Amino acid sequence: MAAALENELEVDNEDYYSLLNVRKEATQEELKSSYRRLCMLYHPDKHRDPELKRQAEQLFTYVHQAYEVLSDPQSRAIYDIFGKKGLEVEGWEVVERKRNPAEIKEEYERLQRERDERRLQQRTNPKGTISVGIDATDLFDRYEEDFEDVPGGGFPHIEINRMHISQSIEAPLTTSDTAVLSGSLSTHNGNGGGNINLCVRRVTSARGWGELEFGAGDIRGPLFGMKVFRNVTARCFVTAQWGLQFSSRGVRPSATTMMARHLDQNTMGYLQWRWGSQSAMTTSIVRDTKTSHFTLALQLGVPHSYLMMSYQYKFQDEDQTKVKGSIKTGFFGTVVEYGAERKISRHSVLAATVSIGVPQGVSLKIRLNRASQTYLFPIHLTDQLLPSAVFYATVGPLAIYLAVQKLIIMPYVRAQKEQELEKQKEDSASEIARRKQEAEAAVLLMQESVKRIIDAEESKMGLIILNAWYGKFVSDNSQKRERAKVIDVTVPLQCLVKDSKLILTEASKAGLPGFYDPCVGEEKSLKLLYQFRGAMHQVLSGDTEALRIPKQSHRIDPET
């Protein structure tokens, strides 16, 4: 059974719910009513022409197969979870047939956990950080006469004064034990050093875990540490950490403990005590919602005490844009920061922050997250509060980002999407051709039924579908030279009319009888022009939107 699930199970293009035009929550009565209607339409005995009879037999088989699956609770539960592939597992190896849908779902989730655990044992989780500190104070604060006699003195002197590189990998030992190996190298103004750490973590239960840490370095010497985590209640947890740092000056012990509690659904409160070379007591409140993130923190300690407040607003857009600002004041001075963060590709996030402080001066911090790797570029612009430095630190990155976004990133992402779309079309070309042939055959089989439906609707001035198009529509003012990719679905929709009503469920309309996907991977719509009680109506509906007609709001003004 585990082997059957080892590969990702893909849902088949044939959506049984869409084929029967029923909701995913459809009752047995709704399934039976739709099934009987389609059986009357596709029954082979209604057609004398050999070719039409053959096509009717094929479509009748599809409808019967869909009804058999959805009308059986066990088969339906498997189909809802695994798709059509799950029904093809030989010998019903996925689950026992005697189980109810709830048990089937529970079994599936258990198998998912087992599969994830197996994959976890084969996977390391590399994480890395590269930080390059740049001193650019010469751009805004220098004496011109110092460079008059120096070759090349007309150009500002910008240098890299510090670098830091760290990397870690995880190695799952068992389902509950994990080893983490990490190391780092740092250099500052020509002096540097490094260290290496090994951490072994064990998950003791669903409520807690513990870890041991061993480290060594060329500056601080050997390190031994221990950390534990425990869920005290459903709303409260505690962490505690102890460490011993060995050096030529002796042994330096340290300890940290923190308690956190959920104050409400979106708010956490933290209380932390740290003892050692930099002892401090810190309390903070963090509120994180869908649209914002707020932090208020107070620290009392040696050598630093401070009060900090930060706020971040999250835009609900595709690029996950965030803007943030913070203020921090204490014995060291005052620092104000503001910046923005935005997703620039599927796996990359770019952020820029301007830091203005007394006596720190003005700095620009650029961060790029690429998957699990982080690249940091802190640029120190000036030791003083110069308006020019603040202006260029704010406007410069924004102008560069907009230029790079328009000239490089957007064309690249667009080209990538087009390549993926073309590949998707090539891979599904034979499937599209098959579905198109089936749709055309279904339309031929519907002709006689449609004539009867139209005659019945006309006799009572009911619902007549005049024109119906499905696919991708192109507006008249489109700047691209592209053509509409639509198919005529007038007959299939008229065939679904019953008692002067047409009801389509929330599913892709490409699975409806007589439909197919004319533009794989692209956004599609359904455009209808229909007549009801002698009046013209028109509506445009999204591909997966539910639709119910007729409606008064669809009526076309005669003067228009």
Task: Record the pTM.
Answer: 0.60
Predicted confidence (pLDDT) at residue 515 exceeds the cutoff of 80: yes
| Of residues 483 and 155, more confidently modeled | 155
For 206-261, write each residue's pLDDT tens digit.
889 999 999 998 777 899 999 999 999 989 999 999 999 888 788 889 999 999 99
For 325-350, what is the mean pLDDT?
90
How many Cβ atoms sit within 10 Å of the Cβ of residue 429?
A: 11
For 331-347, what is the mean pLDDT?
89
Instruction: Name every residue whose Cβ is closer than 8 Å to that of residue 74 and which is 6 or more positions away in sequence.
Output: 95, 97, 99, 100, 101, 104
Identify whether the C-beta of residue 518 lies closer than 8 Å to the C-beta of residue 510. Answer: no
pLDDT band at 100 (very low <50, low <70, confident <90, very high): low
Cα separation, 388 vs 367, whole angstroms: 23
Cα separation, 342 vs 273, whole angstroms: 34
For 188-201, what is the mean pLDDT?
89
CA 9 to each of CA 85, 109, 272, 358: distance values in angstroms, whole numbers, following the listed order: 6, 14, 46, 58
The helix/strand/coil state of 541 is: strand
Predicted confidence (pLDDT) at residue 5 exceeds the cutoff of 60: no
Structure tokens belonging to residue 372: 């699990």
Predicted confidence (pLDDT) at residue 550 exceeds the cutoff of 70: yes
The residue type of 244 is L
pLDDT band at 10 (very low <50, low <70, confident <90, very high): very low
For 461-475, write each residue's pLDDT tens digit.
999 999 999 998 876
Output DSSP code: residue 11: P
Range list of H helices, 27-100: 28-42, 50-71, 73-82, 84-87
10 Å CB burial of residue 147 (0-12, 13-18, 19+) is: middle
SS3 content of the chain, % helix, strand, coil (to 5): 30, 40, 30
C-alpha angle 484-490-492 in degrees, rounded to nearest 5: 115
For 9-15, what is the mean pLDDT?
47
pLDDT attached to residue 120: 54
For 426-438, write each residue's pLDDT tens digit.
777 777 888 888 8
Instruction: Name every residue whose Cβ is closer than 8 Å to that of residue 334 and which is 6 or more positions away in sequence.
Output: 327, 328, 357, 358
pLDDT attached to residue 145: 54
pLDDT band at 103 (very low <50, low <70, confident <90, very high): low
For 125-138, write each residue's pLDDT tens digit.
788 999 999 999 88
HEC readout, 356-411? EEECCEEEEEEEEEECCEEEEEEEEEECCCCHHHHHHHHHHHHHHHHHHHHHHHHH
The residue type of 523 is E
